[in-house]
Chains A and B, each alone.
Chain A
Amino acid sequence: MDVMSEKSAKSLVKPIISFRNVVKKFGSMVAVDNVSLDIEPGEFFALLGPSGCGKTTLLRMLAGFEVPTDGQVLIDGQDMGATSPNQRPVNMVFQSYAVFPHMTVAKNVGYGLKIDGVPAQDIETRVQEALELVQLGHLAGRMPDQLSGGQRQRVALARALIKKPKVLLLDEPLSALDAKLREAMRFELSQLQQKVGITFIMVTHDQDEALAIASRIAVMHKGGISQLGTPSDLYEFPASRFVADFIGSVNMFEGTLLKDEPDEALIGCPELAPHAIHLPHSAPGNVNAPVWVAIRPEKMNLHKNSDEPPPVRDCPAAHNVCKGVIKEISYLGDTSIFHVQLANGRLVRVSRPNRSRYDQDNYGWGETVWVSWSGSSPVVLLS
């Protein structure tokens, strides 16, 4: 059935990029391990992962700087094989921007056209257009060393976009910018992508960046793709402990599936004993087999101390709760993170938005509290 749906999906939209069983080895080190991936036209796609996961190698195979050891890379249906970088219909924005220091902004942006033998007059108008697109029209005559980091990045963007590539590749595009500028550029990048309508593929290790910009994300780990999906898919329905942990922060509990029925499941976690986790739906895995439960800090609630555990909606009494002492409070302005230590020493992170300027509950350091979560919050993981 999977094969059927894949086929029908393929007939609808022809992928602009296809990796087919791609393997890349550097000596004995396997950088990319049998990756198959289709990227559709018009997507803002992000390859997300920690350093050394193979995401940059994948991008460099698209640009033609690396040749796959095995498998195929297709761009717009054409097998790229060992096609050299200057023959490929893709352009790249490099991590260091790689703006040519000895050329003016206009010369930098026009370089690709000049190499292609475009007449000088056409180059001039197209360079001006490209610079307007990234709002640098007034700086055409400047040298790169007179530009700020953000401006240099725009030059790199204009220089790559002027060749009207089928796909724009971005290698860690925002990592060299400071925090405020990074946030502004996130917005601008997605605006730019919508304006030019070209497929963007971005490599990043910054999960916030990927969540904020990308329409679809592939989370990579040890040379393979751990999970592929939209940002909210990955955040709310992680498929593995690695993805749950890598994207956002999470409280992970190890436990055993005690009961699994169509409308109810029960998981016992030694760290949460005597309380258990109750789900209003069935859980993956076999009864009595080990499972992991992931709960996001913002999906947990704090309650003032009392003898009886606080009631949780849609859930039998004394389930989905635990009791502990606030060990530390990180005040971040918009939210506060509470580190609650359970009797057995386990720390649980609970985050609360600071909705009003004066917190009525006023939780303090050392205070004993109850922590609860609704039955729909936990994600049960098998790997």
Chain B
Amino acid sequence: MADRPAPLEYNRTWPMRLWLGGVFFFLYAPLIALMAFSFNDSKRTIVWRGFTFDHYKKLFNNNELMLAFANSLTIAFITTLISVVLGALAAVMLWRFRFRFKGAIEGALALPIVVPEICMGVAMLVFFARVMPWPNDLIWPFSLGAIIIAHVSFCFPFVTMVVRARLASFNKEQEEAARDLGASDWEAFRDVLLPHMKPALIAGALLSFTLSLDDFVITFFTSGPNTVTFPVKVYSMVRFSVTPEVNAASTMLIVLTVVLMALMMLGQRKSTTAK
């Protein structure tokens, strides 16, 4: 009697709880299974044979896989840097100015989000093969240039979208107030607009980092014979058989992504509560 669910507390009714349970099960059970079997003391089968770190040891001794991993992280990092700057600039331009063909430019910016990835991949392949061949013999990390360009082209529209949504809530009087108090255009941007954009910039960076890190299709078409990224490497390993080593590698990637996310969210919360 005292603790009856309120009219809108659907999460306290049993059908909703069943539904929620189902969602969580199908979402996380495969991931947990993958992680668990990375510790399985067995080569092939999916039968539990005891706990071991062997696959992780093997993983760290697998130079090819470690190189692919380093490639992926480097690509993701540089892609994120470029995408955030480019995406934020595009967002500010679309938000602030009125110009001819603005609608067309906005549409063109959203195109990489909606175009099927396989088409993007093929287009990039043709582009780098015929129109602008990327030299094969550059030293690392310049050898990753083609992949980075391809990744930036599909990452920065996401940043633009997130930043634009944030800018919509900006009170332009704040920028005018800064100008009125003596700030130049640049100072007003730095002191007022940029702090307002910050959460969107962080969200956009997270988005591009994860998009770039786990992209397979476009990378597969743009990577030359000598550069291999982590997802591409995992794919080639899986073609022979799903070994616990792949499990271990995937677990590493998942943990890395989750930790990174958590750190950034923590940092963001600190920066808002500290002041």
Contact = CB atoms under 8 A, between A and B. Distances in A.
Interface of A: 63-65, 84-86, 90-92, 94-96, 98-104, 111-112, 115-116, 143, 156, 159-160, 163
Contact of B174 (A63, A100, A104): A100
Interface in B96-120: none
B55 to A, nearest CB: 47
A64 B178 CA distance: 13
Contacts of A101: 174, 196
Given A102-B195, A111-B191, A143-B275, A94 B183 contact: no
Nearest to A90: B180
Contacts, number: 67
Nearest to B177: A98
B166 interface: no
Residue among B173, B177, B179 with max Cβ neighbours from chain A (10 Å): B177
B182 A163 contact: yes
B182 A92 contact: no
Given A102-B195, A115-B183, A96 B178 contact: no
A85 B180 contact: yes
Given A96-B171, A102-B195, A104-B275, A159 B176 contact: no
Contact of A92 (B180, B187, B275): B180
Contacts of A143: 275
Looking at chain B's contact residues, the main secondary structure is: helix
Contacts of A112: 181-182
B62 interface: no
Contacts of A159: 177, 181
A85 B187 CA distance: 13
Given A100-B192, A102-B275, A86 B171 contact: no
Closest 10 CB pairs of A and B: A112-B181, A98-B173, A98-B177, A85-B179, A94-B173, A102-B195, A115-B182, A98-B174, A86-B182, A92-B180
Nearest to A171: B173
User: Range of interface residues on chain B?
Assistant: 10 to 19
Interface in B148-198: 171, 173-174, 176-184, 187, 191-192, 195-196
Looking at chain A's contact residues, the main secondary structure is: loop
Contacts of B191: 100, 111
Residue among A95, A98, A101 with max Cβ neighbours from chain B (10 Å): A98
Nearest to B198: A102
Nearest to A84: B179
13 contacts: A64-B179, A65-B176, A85-B179, A86-B182, A92-B177, A96-B173, A100-B191, A100-B195, A101-B174, A112-B181, A115-B181, A116-B182, A156-B177
A111 B195 CA distance: 15
B179 A86 contact: yes
Contacts of A156: 177
A98 B171 contact: yes
Contacts of B187: 115
B98 to A, nearest CB: 12
A91 B181 contact: yes
Interface in B246-275: 275
Contacts of B174: 98-101
Residue among B176, B180, B191 with max Cβ neighbours from chain A (10 Å): B180
A111 B176 contact: no
Contacts of B180: 63-64, 85-86, 90-92, 160
A285 to B, nearest CB: 46
A94 B174 CA distance: 9
Given A102-B195, A104-B275, A111 B173 contact: no
A225 B222 CA distance: 68
Residue among B173, B181, B183, B195 with max Cβ neighbours from chain A (10 Å): B181
Contacts of A92: 176-177, 180
B154 to A, nearest CB: 32
B176 A85 contact: yes
B89 to A, nearest CB: 21
A98 B177 CA distance: 6
A65 B177 CA distance: 10
Nearest to B184: A86
Contacts of A63: 176, 180
